Structure 1
Amino acid sequence: MAANVIMPQMGESIFEGTITRWLKKVGDSVKRDEPLFEISTDKVDSEIPAPASGVLSEIRVKEGETVQINTVVAVIDEQGRAQAPPPTEKAEGPHIAKSEAPSRAKTDKVEATQGVRSSPLVRRIAKVENVNLSELEGTGLGGRITKKDILGYLEERERVAEVTRPIVQQAAEEMAGTDGIETDRIEVVPMSVMRKSIAEHMVASRRTAAHVTTVFEADMTRIVSLKNQYAQEFLSQEGIKLSYMPFFIKTVSAGLKEFPVVNASIQDTNIVYKKDINIGVAVALDWGLIVPVIKNADEKSFLGLARASVDLAERARKKRLTPEDVQNGTFTITNPGVFGSLLGAPIINQPQVAILCIGAITKRPVVINDAIAIRSMVYLTLTFDHRLIDGAVADQFMASIKVKLESWEEKLF
């Protein structure tokens, strides 16, 4: 008896996925719920378990290919017989419908896009690249326009632009030396699905928000002392390493309750105030960056925040996150200080309106009561959307966090 392996739907608004790696090959034995392959979607990377035990008899979708949800990507023979893989058919590229009317204004293109079946990511790309989705013929289920369709359209558009580009521009490129690069001295590597998603998200955020950054310095001496004092006891009693992150999450949660506009978002000309405080913590991976979210952070104890941050970071590195783990964040914290960075001006994680950057905690000489003392100091930078948050409010929010960190009194466990 054969069991079909299908591309799962990893979230309500996700309609396609890319197979990034097969963990088994044809002929290998597999057990039910054993990781079978890895996928990447608009939301998250994840390992997909085998739906049944048996022998992997057929792989129908190769690594790097993007397919619709519910597509059969492999077959497991529950009686243990492997089949020869069928000849691979060359996939046809996306079809570009010939426009019968002259190109119209950008606003007309946006209006024409409405009603076309596509994913939120495709519509976002179309908006950024000024593409009228009605000009494309979707290859997805029911004529849905997939990410592969629109990226193929953009590639074709670029090829046409290359042919029709003015001679003056071509001459300028030649003078700049772009045509003189020795091809054996460079390596061209395609972006991963995650890297493409990050690139699109960052560019869209820069185009959307009015980014402004403010910098504060906080004295972390008391917290450093507490961490050093209780680190071993925390590990032996709770089984997790004590880090600085739960201190920051706890103080930020309290600050967001004081200044709810920093926890809000913008929707057209309306301000959306969020009652839930869901804090995303950026996790650096070998293959990219992801921001898992701690839901209702203000309702958790210090120990609860420590456990949640460790759990999400570990599952992110093991590709065990679900789409729900990275959704509905209202504020983001990034911590490049662990790599030695003193400060940074990060890009806002849309649709949020602010992001906190934590620098490295280092000992520095500071003046206290007209005397020089050695203290553990940290630079904290807040990048905020000036469309919604005024500089005074941003600085008041940061001043509140600074006071809470420097006068920490809460018990750790």
Structure 2
Amino acid sequence: MPKQTVEVIMPQLAESLVSATIDRWLKEPGQEVEMYEPLCELITDKVNAELPSTAKGILVKILVGAGETVDVGTPVCLIETEAEAAADSAPTGGAESPAAAAQPVEAASARPAAPLMPAAFDPDAPMRHRYSPAVQKLAAEHSIDLSRVRGTGMGGRITRKDVLEAARKGTAGFAAAVAPAAAAPAEREAAKVPMDPKVPVRTTGLHLSETIRIPTVEEEGQEVPGRGEYIIDVTPVRNSIATKMRQSASEIPHGWMMIEVDVTNLVLLRNKLKEEFSRQEGINLTYMPFLCKATVNAIKDYPIMNSVWATDKIIVKRDINLSLAVGTEDSVITPVIRNADQKNIAGLAHEIHDLARRTREGKIKLSDLQGGTFTVNNTGAFGSILSQPIINYPQAAILTFESIVKKPVVINDMIGVRSMVNICLSLDHRILDGVICGRFLQRVKENLESYNLDTKLY
């Protein structure tokens, strides 16, 4: 049967992204590739993804090397395939190639990398038994049978963390940490690793969230013999975070303000409603939706807070799209609640829960990370009482909600025990000044202190 060489094109990962960087190639020239099998790992400033093959055949030539950045529509490699099979597959070259291969696709956020593929494609098929050299080496060191480890990566791919988790569980926890490789997707989903039964001792703060497992240096790094040091490779996600933070800190002249808020009534309100809300809605009622509602109402009074610097002008955004700083064990992602000012407290609670859950499960979409105009962050979840956050570039400000702490407070020359919280604001001093930010913080304070037992969630 005649052979045909087809081009694999750099796809458009999202409407606003016009290029991507090839991190590393997963296939080498001369190797066979299946349809939709990942060819290489891509990096953008928002997410990482794997580029799937659009043809079945032999990889004959790599056109773009690792570390190179290319525009959407650029050929990255050549695959030799049978002409009949090529005709049946999606076109990858010629005049129609960019339109077919460069359609926007949804990629999972941060790690693990998500393959870009049609919805009808079963991601488990090509990924289930693909082990990286690092995973194989780690499994050998810990005597782990990879065929029995349940992979948490996209398509069931086994990551270093899966191997380390299986090793950490040991014999006692092995049954819960692994599942048969041939298990159905529903069975693999049911084989969840149980949470650590240890409950953290809370010495301060009223709203510390559940503990997120933090990898140890020994797990993540490689020890340098004789030097007493560990070397940890900088991941693409960490490198992207570093770039954005450096850009924000170097380009934006940061200013900081803090105000103390009495949220005693808010604590009473949440305690009154949380059990009923959990029964009716199936999610926990946290303090974040109350903070978000108080913030967006203050932004409506002071719209300049919802702006960006544009060299010779200031662009004030009409839509209030709140970015939420969601921390995972190895990164911070900022998914967006669109038109947050049009949602009630219950609606905000559902949005926050959904975005946080999908972020931590690696299922966030690229579109969920775009369009944010103002960022809020719950640093109180870690027990922090005072933070100086870095602005989420290119926004004008970021607000942190610290830990709620019971403190003695003077009220009408009398001392009472109240639930107090600090809210901290970082501001772009090119756009905002102390007067406007002070009034904005006062309005957020007023909104938070106005909650009472009669406040409605719907």
Q: Name the residue aligned to 2:400.
A: 357
Structure 1 residue 187 corresponds to structure 2 residue 230: yes
Aligned counterpart for 1:41 among listed residues 33, 41, 44: 44
Q: Residue 235 of structure 1 contacts residue 241 of structure 1 at CA under 8 Å; is this kept in 2?
A: yes
In 2, the alpha carbon distance for the partners of 1:19 and 1:320 equals 21
SS at match of 1:184: coil
Q: Name the residue aligned to 1:326.
A: 369
Alignment of 1:108-127 (within 5 A): none
**Could you report, residue by residue, the CA deviation over 1:342-365 in whole angstroms, capped at 9, with x for unpaired residues?**
110111111111110111111111
**Could you report, residue by residue, the CA deviation over 1:152-181 in whole angstroms, capped at 9, with x for unpaired residues?**
xxxxxxxxxxxxxxxxxxxxxxxxxxxxx9
Q: Name the residue aligned to 2:415.
A: 372
Letter matched to residue 290 of structure 1: I
CA offset at residue 211 of structure 1? 0.9
- Alpha-carbon spacing, 1:258–1:21, altered in 2? closer, same or farther (3 Å): farther
Aligned counterpart for 2:428 among listed residues 385, 406, 412: 385
Gaps of at least 5 residues in structure 2 are 82-223
Q: Name the residue aligned to 1:277.
A: 320
Q: Residue 358 of structure 1 contacts residue 378 of structure 1 at CA under 8 Å; is this kept in 2?
A: yes
Q: Residue 261 of structure 2 contacts residue 421 of structure 2 at CA under 8 Å; is this kept in 1?
A: yes
In 1, the alpha carbon distance for the partners of 2:415 and 2:299 equals 34
Q: Residue 256 of structure 1 contacts residue 262 of structure 1 at CA under 8 Å; is this kept in 2?
A: yes
- Alpha-carbon spacing, 1:365–1:352, altered in 2? closer, same or farther (3 Å): same
User: TM-score, length-normalised on structure 1?
Assistant: 0.64
Aligned counterpart for 2:355 among listed residues 291, 308, 312: 312
- Alpha-carbon spacing, 1:360–1:244, altered in 2? closer, same or farther (3 Å): same
Letter matched to residue 291 of structure 2: F
Q: Residue 18 of structure 1 contacts residue 67 of structure 1 at CA under 8 Å; is this kept in 2?
A: yes
Q: Name the residue aligned to 1:213.
A: 256
In 1, the alpha carbon distance for the partners of 2:44 and 2:397 equals 25
Q: Name the residue aligned to 1:248.
A: 291
Structure 1 residue 201 corresponds to structure 2 residue 244: yes
- Alpha-carbon spacing, 1:21–1:412, altered in 2? closer, same or farther (3 Å): farther
User: TM-score, length-normalised on structure 2?
Assistant: 0.58
CA offset at residue 65 of structure 1? 6.5
- Alpha-carbon spacing, 1:370–1:58, altered in 2? closer, same or farther (3 Å): farther
Could you say what the CA RMSD is over the residues aligned between the two structures, in angstroms?
A: 3.7
Q: Name the residue aligned to 2:115.
A: none
In 1, the alpha carbon distance for the partners of 2:337 and 2:24 equals 27
Letter matched to residue 191 of structure 1: V
Q: Name the residue aligned to 1:400.
A: 443
In 2, the alpha carbon distance for the partners of 1:14 and 1:266 equals 22
CA offset at residue 403 of structure 1? 0.7
In 2, the alpha carbon distance for the partners of 1:395 and 1:56 equals 63
235-244 or 313-322, larger mean C-alpha shift: 313-322
CA offset at residue 338 of structure 1? 0.3
Structure 1 residue 10 corresponds to structure 2 residue 13: yes
**Could you report, residue by residue, the CA deviation over 1:79-123 in whole angstroms, capped at 9, with x for unpaired residues?**
xxxxxxxxxxxxxxxxxxxxxxxxxxxxxxxxxxxxxxxxxxxxx
Q: Name the residue aligned to 2:344.
A: 301
Residue correspondences, number: 306
**Could you report, residue by residue, the CA deviation over 1:59-88 in whole angstroms, capped at 9, with x for unpaired residues?**
999xx866755667899x9xxxxxxxxxxx
- Alpha-carbon spacing, 1:48–1:340, altered in 2? closer, same or farther (3 Å): farther
CA offset at residue 389 of structure 1? 1.0
SS at match of 1:257: helix
Letter matched to residue 289 of structure 2: P
SS at match of 2:410: strand
CA offset at residue 190 of structure 1? 2.8
SS at match of 1:265: strand
Letter matched to residue 422 of structure 2: Y
Q: Name the residue aligned to 1:292.
A: 335
Alignment of 1:86-125 (within 5 A): none
Q: Name the residue aligned to 1:339.
A: 382
Q: Residue 293 of structure 1 contacts residue 328 of structure 1 at CA under 8 Å; is this kept in 2?
A: yes
